[in-house]
């Protein structure tokens, strides 16, 4: 696979989705309880306890025999259904200080999340987008789906413009049933419109995670002298002395980041800004740490 190497897979073995289990809803057969779970439901099987499981479902009789924690599952237990939405617009091709382009880092994060979902017997699907949503890879439960997701991500090259708020609304129209939506983008654009579009998923009863992928240069603007900036989504360019604009740029950047932090927090959407100079698995760990 292009976006998950053996080292990353080994690191992911120690990561659990934890609290995301309680947000899940889907068809029978997965490893996540329905939010309507009750003790009157018919027993189906046991599975090993994982961090984030509710203690009230521990089977203490099994613990007494095996000295290990197990969870009782009912026949009505429901599985997690996840859609990974990955930005493939031109701005995602940027790389200067990071180890990968923003798109490559986004793909690695998305592939890691897909692995975590599929490893637990749940279903994951994919949509890449630029000016329009790309082809939908429908959610499936088999681990073979990971190869399909990796291949679909590798077949895309970031290019073109995007109206992020408009394209997210179109994607939302395709996802009819309550699911986990993971949006992976640089979120470049007017913050208020982007926030409104992402929050629209919540209005449709989806659970949402927001991952903003940036290059460290976009945060620091650590360049010197006259620099020609060229647009990745159009033919615009700008020549300026970075030393003159750096302080104003950093202030504007910090202001936009605070808008995203406060906006997602108020909407109850876990959000994290990740940078391409950190390992993708670390980005996933920081994202899941935001899920309560």
Same domain? 52 vs 144 = no
Q: What is the pLDDT of residues 239-283, one digit of tens each?
A: 888 888 889 989 999 999 999 999 999 999 999 999 999 999 999
C-alpha separations of 146 from 56, 122, 260 in Å: 33, 12, 30
Domain match, 153 and 257 both: yes
Looking at the structure, tell me whether residues 190 and 270 fall in a common domain.
yes
Domain boundary at 49, 75, 101, which? 75
Choose one of 57, 75, 93: the last residue of a domain. 75
Note down pLDDT in tens along the chain; length 292 residues. Answer: 899 999 999 999 989 887 665 655 444 444 554 444 433 444 556 777 776 566 777 888 888 888 888 877 654 445 788 999 999 999 999 999 788 999 999 999 999 999 999 998 899 999 999 888 888 899 999 899 999 999 999 999 998 887 788 888 888 888 877 889 999 999 988 899 889 988 888 888 889 999 999 999 999 988 887 888 876 666 777 888 888 888 998 999 999 999 999 999 999 999 999 999 999 999 999 999 998 6
- Same domain membership, residue 133 and residue 64: no
Give the span between the Cα atoms of 95 and 101, in whole angstroms. Answer: 5
Residue at 16 is within a domain: no
pTM: 0.80
Structurally, how many domains does the chain consist of? 2
Alpha carbon distance 75, 64 (integer Å) = 24
CA-nearest of 52, 57, 49, 152 to 103 is: 152
State whether 59 and 192 are in the same domain.
no
Same domain, 107 and 222: yes
Residue 25 domain-assigned? no
Do residues 148 and 69 both lie within one domain?
A: no
Domain assignment of residue 274, given as a range: 6-11+79-288
Question: 């159009």: which residue's tokens?
Answer: 234
List pLDDT tens digits, range 203-213: 888 899 999 99
What does the buried/exposed string (b/e) look like for 247-278 if buried means 16 or more CB atoms within 10 Å of the residue's CB?
A: eebeeeeeebbeebeebbeebebbbbbbbbee
């Amino acid at each position: 696979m292009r976006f998950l190497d053996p080292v990353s897979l080994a690191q992911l073995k120690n990561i659990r989705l934890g609290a995301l289990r309680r947000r899940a809803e889907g068809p029978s057969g997965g490893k996540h309880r329905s939010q309507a779970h009750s003790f009157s439901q018919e027993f189906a099987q046991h599975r090993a306890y994982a961090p984030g499981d509710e203690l009230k479902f521990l089977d203490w009789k099994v613990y007494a025999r095996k000295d290990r924690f197990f969870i009782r599952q009912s026949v009505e237990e429901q599985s997690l259904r996840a859609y990974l939405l990955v930005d493939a617009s031109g701005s995602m091709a940027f790389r200067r200080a990071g180890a990968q382009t923003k798109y490559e880092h986004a793909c690695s994060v998305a592939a890691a999340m897909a692995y975590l979902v599929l490893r637990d017997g749940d279903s994951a699907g994919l949509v890449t987008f630029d000016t329009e949503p790309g082809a939908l890879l429908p959610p499936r439960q088999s681990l073979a789906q990971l190869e399909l997701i990796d291949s679909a991500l590798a077949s895309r090259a970031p290019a073109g413009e995007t109206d992020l708020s408009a394209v997210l609304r179109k994607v939302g129209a395709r996802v009819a049933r309550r699911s986990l939506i993971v949006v992976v983008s640089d979120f470049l654009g007017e913050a208020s419109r982007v926030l409104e579009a992402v929050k629209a998923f919540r209005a449709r009863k989806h659970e949402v995670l927001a991952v903003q992928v940036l290059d460290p240069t976009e945060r620091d603007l650590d360049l010197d002298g006259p620099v020609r900036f060229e647009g990745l989504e159009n033919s615009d360019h700008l020549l300026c002395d970075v030393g003159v604009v750096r302080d104003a740029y950093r202030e504007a950047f910090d202001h936009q980041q605070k808008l995203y932090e406060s906006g997602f927090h108020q909407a109850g959407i876990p959000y994290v800004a990740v940078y391409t100079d950190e390992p993708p698995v670390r980005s996933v760990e920081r994202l899941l740490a935001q899920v309560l």
